[in-house]
Amino acid sequence: MTRTASSKTGWIVTFAGTGINLALGILYTWSIFKSEITRSIKEGTGGFNWDLAAINDPYAVCCLVFAFFMIPAGRLQDKLGPRITAMTGGFLVGLGFLLISQSTNYWIWIIGFGVLVGAGIGCGYSSATPAAIKWFPPAKTGLVAGLVVSGFGLAPAYISPLSNFFIEHYGLIQTMLIFGIAFFIIVVALSLLLINPPSGYVAPTKASAASKKISPAVEANIGGMLKSGTFYLIWLAYFIGAGAGLMVISSINGMAQQSLSELAFLAVVILAFGNAAGRIAAGIISDKIGRENTLAAMLGIQALLMFAAMAVVDNPDTSAAVIILLATFIGFNYGTNLSIFPSLTKDLWGLKNFGVNYGLVFTSWGVGGFVFSRVYQMIVKASGGQSAMAFMAAGILLLLGIGLTFIIKKQLAALKAA
């Protein structure tokens, strides 16, 4: 395969993966749906008779199932290829939305949005990044991974206004049906463009890039990865970094309603742009200065933002500009996790089993999303609608995450010297 042909195919796969994630990123629009469910509960209309402390549960379960389903989905991707895996994801997402479009029952939403949509997103997400980065040299791992996952972060930029339009004209239940049909078609169509390189393919590398020691020393399977102490440090750092961001994403629409009223969805849109930009920027930066250095910097900034949020999110006098800036920067820093950690997994343990290996690493994202979003909602209910304590706890944990990156850096230096 020639350099031109392989490069062209690689970019087609990359942007097909980005498109799939643009559809599956509907997860990050949960706060729009959550606001409508909350309104229904408080007004006694619409049929949502849920406990207010449980409103985030479908989202939290979706995060958890998404993450843990990445393991079997990753294995499926490694064995059968990305195309079948992504198609399976499109089918499950469509089925999940079809189910919740028929009921307001809490458990139906747990099964439909939490389990089926979560499993479908896991299949689609696990098939997009590995297929793309296999076409490129190690020096471009961060860039390509950042581009693919940026679609997931950017999705709310168009899904949020669409959600508001459809909900206003057709109601929440009918909106779920529309999204289910649309995203099934989009994911299945784009999955046809996903393809792995042929056996023995070596990505073309510039002479200057070839000298960089980025490629992994070994191709580890999941057992070998679990024997590494570095894995557990990376898992915990990912749990903290992702969990803090997902806590904000799950509730940003409600946080912004005091200042933005009916335009609160704009905070979700702005956060989406920050989220996508953070994924691309971190991929490029981490290719240059190292994954662990980039991660330490971003966790530090995220901690500062959490502490800053304590003073503004519960204040009714907070301006719309402050909320939007906060959403942008929190989204940006959260997004960095989604390109740093897959790149770090590939650097350490190789591409042969990347799908299942990253699936295991990614469980930290799901556990973080489940724990942080659930605890946030419990704190808000217990404190009469105040969220400052939740932000303080997240900020403290992010400071702990910075400490973990220094330990990870020492272990990586030891591995390189071995």
For the stretch 63-107, pLDDT in tens is 889 888 988 888 888 788 899 999 999 999 999 999 999 999 999
Is 60 exceeded by the pLDDT of residue 411?
yes
Is 80 exceeded by the pLDDT of residue 395?
yes
Could you say which DSSP state residue 196 is in? P
Q: How many Å apart are CA 367 and CA 390, to the nearest integer?
A: 17
In this prediction, residue 8 has a pLDDT band, given cuts at 50, 70 and 90, of: confident
71 phi and psi, to 5 degrees? -70, -60
Angle (deg, nearest 10), helices 172-191 and 82-100: 170
What are the distances in angstroms from CA 304 to CA 38, 344, 396, 398, 399?
30, 24, 10, 9, 9
Q: For domain 3-197+211-417, which architecture applies?
A: Up-down Bundle (1.20)
Which two structure tokens, joined as six digits, stand for 80? 């059968």
In this prediction, residue 218 has a pLDDT band, given cuts at 50, 70 and 90, of: low
Q: How many Å apart are CA 334 and CA 311, to the nearest integer?
A: 20
Closest-CA residue to 137 (of 81, 82, 206): 206
* Percent of the residues in the chain that have a pLDDT greater than 70, as a whole number: 89
Q: How many Å apart are CA 11 and CA 13, to the nearest integer?
A: 5
Residues 6+ apart with CB under 8 A from 276: 150, 151, 153, 154, 157, 335
The kind and range of the H/E element at 373 are helix 354-382
Closest-CA residue to 49 (of 66, 58, 37, 57): 37
For residue 3, the model assigns a pLDDT of: 44
For residue 133, the model assigns a pLDDT of: 84
Tell me the per-residue pLDDT of 313-359, one tens digit each, with 9 for 90 and over: 777 777 777 777 887 888 888 888 888 898 888 888 887 788 788 88
Torsion angle, alpha carbons of 126, 127, 129, 133, to 10: 130
The answer to whether 64 touches 366, Cβ cutoff 8 Å, is yes
